[in-house]
């Protein structure tokens, strides 16, 4: 089971999801618990929740309890609450005391996308990336490739602080991964030196 599957209801309702049952392992010797660093568990939980926001498994307007989100991840509710507090500070979710967390509808994401456009567009115009270098990332589907592609767009600027801010905004935007054909279209525009088309395609990729 993945995040967002347990107890799903109509899109847009505000029903708190009931905790899902976690199967108990049967047979064989009891395994000793694996102790993981708390910060590591929280970071992995946060990454999983960001991915669920990005691909739509956590749907805007719906409310989810920490136990429901924790069950498919195999963690306790504590790292989920800690991760969701981080997402709440970023504006991606809203904390509802004694109920759970409501996924914030798109308007907030639209504001983040606008900020990304203000940052990315002039940087790409001033420091055009090499389409040959970007092609392997553009051709690969999935969230990891999309994230790497967006990071590589800014690499020619050689500014670590820019990279850090852009990565944070990428996470906060929580957009679904762009399809390979959209990224390849951008590479063709870069190869052709069509600045206007590059700008238009970038705005589409950024959700601006």
Find out whether 170 and 147 touch, Cβ atoms under 8 Å.
yes
Interval 160-181: pLDDT, tens: 999 999 999 998 887 788 899 9
- Between 36-40, 88-92, 135-139, the lowest mean confidence (pLDDT) is in 36-40
| pTM, rounded to two decimals | 0.55
Pick from 115, 120, 136: nearest CA to 184: 136
Over the range 67-85, which residues count as b (16 or more CB within 10 Å of their CB) and which as e?
A: bbbbbbbebebebbbbbbe
Q: Could you give phi then psi for residue 181, rounded to 5 degrees?
A: -65, -30
Q: Cβ atoms within 10 A of the Cβ of 139, count?
A: 14
Domain boundaries defined on the chain: 1-105, 107-206
CA distance 106 to 175: 10
- Between 29-43, 51-65, 186-200, the lowest mean confidence (pLDDT) is in 29-43
- Once rounded to an integer, what is the mean pLDDT over residues 51-56? 84
> Domain 1-105 is of which CATH architecture?
Orthogonal Bundle (1.10)
Interval 127-146: pLDDT, tens: 999 999 999 999 999 888 99
Angstrom distances, CA of residue 19 to CA of 14, 25, 49, 53, 142? 15, 18, 16, 19, 29
- Once rounded to an integer, what is the mean pLDDT over residues 62-87? 94
Q: Which residues are CB-contacts of 92 (< 8 A; sequence separation ≥ 6)? A: 53, 103, 104, 108, 109, 172, 174
């Amino acid at each position: 089971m993945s995040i967002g599957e347990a107890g799903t209801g109509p899109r847009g309702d505000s029903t708190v999801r009931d905790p899902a049952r976690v199967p108990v392992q049967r047979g064989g010797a009891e395994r000793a618990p694996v102790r993981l660093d708390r910060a590591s568990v929280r970071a992995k939980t946060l990454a999983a929740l960001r991915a669920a926001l990005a691909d739509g498994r956590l749907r805007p307007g719906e409310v989810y309890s920490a136990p429901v989100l924790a069950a498919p991840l195999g963690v306790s509710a504590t790292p989920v609450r800690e991760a969701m507090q981080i997402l709440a500070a970023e504006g991606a979710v809203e904390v509802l005391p004694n109920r759970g967390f409501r996924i914030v509808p798109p308007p907030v994401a639209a504001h983040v996308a606008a900020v990304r456009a203000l940052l990315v567009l002039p940087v790409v115009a001033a420091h055009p990336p090499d389409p040959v270098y970007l092609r392997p990332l553009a051709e690969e589907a999935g969230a990891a490739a999309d994230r790497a592609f967006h990071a590589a767009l800014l690499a020619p600027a050689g500014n670590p602080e820019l990279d850090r801010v852009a990565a944070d905004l990428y996470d906060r935007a929580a957009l679904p991964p762009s399809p390979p054909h959209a990224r390849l279209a951008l590479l063709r525009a870069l190869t052709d030196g069509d600045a206007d088309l590059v700008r238009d395609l970038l705005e589409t990729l950024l959700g601006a």
